[in-house]
Structure 1
Amino acid sequence: MKTTRKKREFSVVIERDTEGFYVASVPALSGCHTQAKSLDLLMRRTGEAIDLCLEETDPHLPTNEFIGVQRIAVG
């Protein structure tokens, strides 16, 4: 019998690397990241990566409230 997990939402940071791949990381889940050539594929892969990361982490892990993203120039 398949167990049903409570739906959770995570903030995802998406960037494009120098080779044109979209790269997603999930700040709330250390080491949870993936990449793809399209945004649609990236989102599917990100969902899969989150599921895998959740299997290895505390199921009661709190999710922080997303506030925003800022860019900062240094140097």
Structure 2
Amino acid sequence: MVRNLNYRILLRKEPEGGYTVTVPTLARARVTFGETVEEAIAMAREAIELYLEDLREKGEEIPTEEGLLEYTLTIEAHA
């Protein structure tokens, strides 16, 4: 059975250039990097696919984002 899974990725612009990507739902997760946003997204897709393939081969559960709620909090910080 084939099904589509959706994963949020977070891209952080690095001071030295490029973008670091993390996948919050995949705990042992995937951190990857790309010189451009497009390259970073492509690298994240490849890393996720390889990770999920590894989990399937080991018979481990595939984490999903079903039932996940996301909210952004704004906190006032005094510096």
TM class by shorter chain equals 0.7 to 0.9
Aligned pairs, how many? 72
CA pair 45-70 structure 1, distance change in 2 beyond 3 A = farther
Counterpart residue number, 2:32: 34
2:5 corresponds to 1:8: yes
Contact residue 21 and residue 36 of structure 1 kept, 8 A: yes
Deviation at 1:37, TM superposition (A): 0.8
Contact residue 52 and residue 62 of structure 2 kept, 8 A: no
CA deviations over 1:32-57 (Å, ceiling 9, x no partner): 11101111111111100000111233
1:1-75 alignment to 2 at 5 Å? 5-29=2-26, 30-57=28-55, 58-63=60-65, 65-70=68-73, 73=77
CA pair 66-35 structure 1, distance change in 2 beyond 3 A = farther
In structure 1, runs of 5+ residues without a counterpart are none
Over the residues paired in the alignment, what is the CA RMSD in angstroms?
2.5
Greater than 4 Å deviation, 4+ residue runs = 69-75
Q: Secondary structure at the match of 1:7?
A: coil
Bigger Cα Rg: 2
In structure 2, runs of 5+ residues without a counterpart are none
Identity %: 21
CA pair 27-74 structure 1, distance change in 2 beyond 3 A = farther
Q: When the two structures are superposed, what TM-score results if normalisation uses the length of structure 1?
A: 0.73
Q: When the two structures are superposed, what TM-score results if normalisation uses the length of structure 2?
A: 0.70
